[in-house]
Amino acid sequence: MENFRKKIIYLLRYYIVQLFFFILLRMIFMSVNSTEEYTLTDYLESAWHGIPLDAAVAGYITVIPLLLTMVSTFVYIPMRKLLIVYNLFAAIAISLAFIADITLYPFWEFKLDASFLIYIDSPSNAFASVSTSFIVLRILMAAALAAALYSVLHFVSPSSLRPTKHRFLSLLTTTIIGGLLFLAIRGGIGESTNNIGKVYYSEKTFLNHSAVNPVFSFIYSLGKREDYSEAYHFYNDEELDRCMQGMFSSNSAIVDTLLRNRRPNIITIILEGMSSALIGELGGKSNITPNFDNIIKEGVIFSNCHANSYRTDRGIISSLSGYASFPKTSVMKSPVKSRNLPSLASSLGKAGYHNTFLYGGDINFTNMKSYLYSTGYNKLIADKDFTLQQQETHLWGVTDHITFDSLYTIVQNSAESPWHITYLTLSSHEPWTVPYNRIPDDAIANSFAYTDSCIGNFIGRLKKSDVWDNTLVIFIADHTLARYPERREGDDAMRNKIPFLLTGGAIREARDIPILCNQSDLPATLLAQLELPIDDFTFSRNILSPTYTYPFAYHTFNNGFSYIDSTGYTLYDLDAYVPVIEQPAMGAEERLQRAKAILQTTYKDFSKR
């Protein structure tokens, strides 16, 4: 039995030693790179929030010792001899990663990732700006840390492990430990797996970065590397410029004023999967969203708006950063890129707005937390901020009527004006289970009808409150619902049409603006109404600008794109590199050229972010 306990204690020590080492190195990182004074609480909070990624890295490294321990159930294993090279490799790799991170952070201001591999083929250029002593000192620091970690890992490793009489118990226990390591590596049993944004917790970027384990950041980024600048290279520079001529030309000039004043409080509600096909006032099915239909009659509806993409992570980027979507690349999943995007929150923050984001689900999903904090949100509220009972009201988290109540409470408690709150709904998503039963014969329609009832209740309460007169409420969908209703197949040019609605007491008058546009045009259009700059939003257009003379809508999916302008509709397959739909044939060649040019230009832009 003593031999069995020895094995278990060894694995626990081996794992815990790494966690303590990561915490120590995080303290060193913060003390070396901080540009302002941080309290002991800040250090401890960063260490605490960083544990999920530390645990994942420690889990990876502990796998080999675990496997050897399992084998020792049956045969004699000289552990220290077998692990000499492995422990040395692990110690060197970890130490190099942390020293590289500490060294590069002041220059890059983001965590170590695979980006630095670009410079390996030219080390002289990479180190041109630093002295020899600088490099030598870092090498010595890495050697010292590696020696220290190796010594501890070697010390906690037993000289040998012998077969045990309690084989079943030994295998069962080590198998359970293996399962726990898998959960540590994965990041638990929730919907989202471990990602960089999971450890973000603060408005201060440096504290969020401090919480990120650089070994994890590097490994994670390896799977995200892509030569974006060469992706979908259809044209040379001259041809590309010709195709892009006039595509995104708009300015912030105000010709058509929609608002009563220039600094209203703003609520941006992103509707999960809400297609115009569900909304009677937009030509969809009747009686699914009666509340929203009534709100449309009272507000400013952009009745020919189309989604840029087919997923929530893409739709959020398009809506809040005015950035075009990509067929296979999720901008949100690349923190080093998404942090450099413009955003409504950032622009509004510069104008004095306080930005809050509310979502009833897992805000770590697809690195959403990283994107939101990096682009200007001051406070994030998500599933963990609700009770355990509330978190179980929907498969994806907190159901909509609860989060709409929370939204109303946030609004009422937002004493300092102006403020901006973004809210992402959740319930109109598979498995379509909602606490509502108005349309029992159609679970999907009933789910959207439930969200509509929540919208009606919220707007009704808001109208009766003191904040209504100076509040602008924006409704926009993240994407449409695929193949619902049945007629909305890929050959339907209106398949990606979504609601884009402005309402609230800050609106001058109800109007229908039928100009063809994308959801990515929201930032430029709104900021222009607020008389704020829009120059940072390269791919967002002020729909009401006098220079918006070529309306079009562009949409990407995996793996293809569609394009609509006044001449017709084109759908293109990027796997086969052939047009699937050209309705009509007249004008199809130019539509395809323009769409390809957008795809190439946006990838080129993304490569530079």
- The DSSP bridge partners found for residue 563 are 554, 570
Q: Are residues 337 and 456 in the same domain?
A: yes
Average pLDDT over residues 237-248: 93
Q: What confidence tier does 98 reach under pLDDT thresholds 50, 70, 90?
A: very high
Q: Is the pLDDT of residue 299 over 80?
A: yes
Q: Are residues 173 and 278 in the same domain?
A: no
Average pLDDT over residues 16-41: 91
Write the CA distances from 428 to 287, 344, 451, 502, integer angstroms. Answer: 16, 25, 7, 21
**Neighbour tally for 360: CB within 10 Å:** 28
Q: Are residues 202 and 320 in the same domain?
A: no
Proportion of the chain above pLDDT 70, given as a percent? 94
Query: What CATH number is attached to the domain comprising 525?
Result: 3.40.720.10
Q: Are residues 166 and 19 in the same domain?
A: yes
Identify whether the C-beta of residue 1 lies closer than 8 Å to the C-beta of residue 7. Answer: no
Q: Are residues 163 and 298 in the same domain?
A: no
Q: Is the pLDDT of residue 12 over 80?
A: yes
pLDDT in tens, 183-195: 989 888 876 788 8
Q: Are residues 165 and 273 in the same domain?
A: no
Q: Is the pLDDT of residue 285 over 60?
A: yes
Identify whether the C-beta of residue 156 lies closer than 8 Å to the C-beta of residue 10. Answer: yes
Q: Is the pLDDT of residue 398 over 70?
A: yes
* CA angle, 471 then 477 then 480, to 5°: 165
Q: Are residues 512 and 437 in the same domain?
A: yes
Q: Are residues 14 and 146 in the same domain?
A: yes
The span from the CA of 310 to the CA of 322, in Å, is 15
Which of 296-300, 384-388, 491-495 comes out lowest in average pLDDT? Answer: 491-495
Q: What confidence tier does 225 reach under pLDDT thresholds 50, 70, 90?
A: low
For residue 117, what pLDDT is reported? 64
Proportion of the chain above pLDDT 90, given as a percent? 63
- Domain total in the chain: 2
pLDDT in tens, 530-589: 999 999 999 999 999 999 999 999 999 887 899 999 999 999 988 778 888 899 999 999
Average pLDDT, the chain: 89
Q: Give me 389's structure tokens.
A: 């009972």
Q: Is the pLDDT of residue 600 over 70?
A: yes
Query: In this structure, is residue 570 part of a structural domain?
Result: no
The span from the CA of 214 to the CA of 256, in Å, is 50
Query: In this structure, is residue 470 part of a structural domain?
Result: yes
Three-state secondary-structure class, residue 196: helix
Average pLDDT over residues 16-20: 94
Q: Are residues 211 and 269 in the same domain?
A: no
Closest CA to 146 of 212, 96, 85: 96
Query: In this structure, is residue 572 part of a structural domain?
Result: no
For residue 79, what pLDDT is reported? 87
Query: In this structure, is residue 171 part of a structural domain?
Result: yes
Residue ranges of alpha helices (H) inside 351-419 are 368-374, 388-391, 400-413
Which of 189-193, 426-430, 554-558, 598-602 comes out lowest in average pLDDT? Answer: 189-193
Residue ranges of alpha helices (H) inside 72-131 are 79-108, 123-126
| Phi, psi dihedral angles at 576 (to 5 degrees) | -90, -15
Helix (H) / strand (E) element for 64: namely helix 51-71
Q: Are residues 195 and 311 in the same domain?
A: no
Residue 278: domain span: 264-488+505-542
The span from the CA of 477 to the CA of 459, in Å, is 17
pLDDT in tens, 205-223: 788 889 999 999 888 877 6
Q: Is the pLDDT of residue 237 over 60?
A: yes
The answer for 424, left when phi > 0, alpha when psi is -120 to 50, beta otherwise, is: beta
Mark which of 514, 542, 570 sits at the end of a domain.
542
Q: Is the pLDDT of residue 133 over 90?
A: no
Q: Is the pLDDT of residue 516 over 70?
A: yes
Residue with the bigger pLDDT between 449 and 131: it is 449
Mark which of 204, 222, 240 sits at the end of a domain.
222
Query: In this structure, is residue 196 part of a structural domain?
Result: yes
Query: In this structure, is residue 178 part of a structural domain?
Result: yes
Residue ranges of alpha helices (H) inside 267-341 are 290-298, 312-321, 335-338
Query: In this structure, is residue 69 part of a structural domain?
Result: yes
Q: Is the pLDDT of residue 493 over 90?
A: no
For residue 490, what pLDDT is reported? 55
Q: Is the pLDDT of residue 298 over 60?
A: yes
Query: In this structure, is residue 476 part of a structural domain?
Result: yes
Q: Are residues 206 and 301 in the same domain?
A: no
Q: Is the pLDDT of residue 489 over 60?
A: no
pLDDT in tens, 111-130: 777 666 655 555 554 555 55
Closest CA to 181 of 25, 20, 16, 46: 16
Q: Are residues 207 and 288 in the same domain?
A: no
Q: 386-397 b/e with 16+ CB inside 10 Å = b?
A: beeebbebbebb
Average pLDDT over residues 259-273: 96
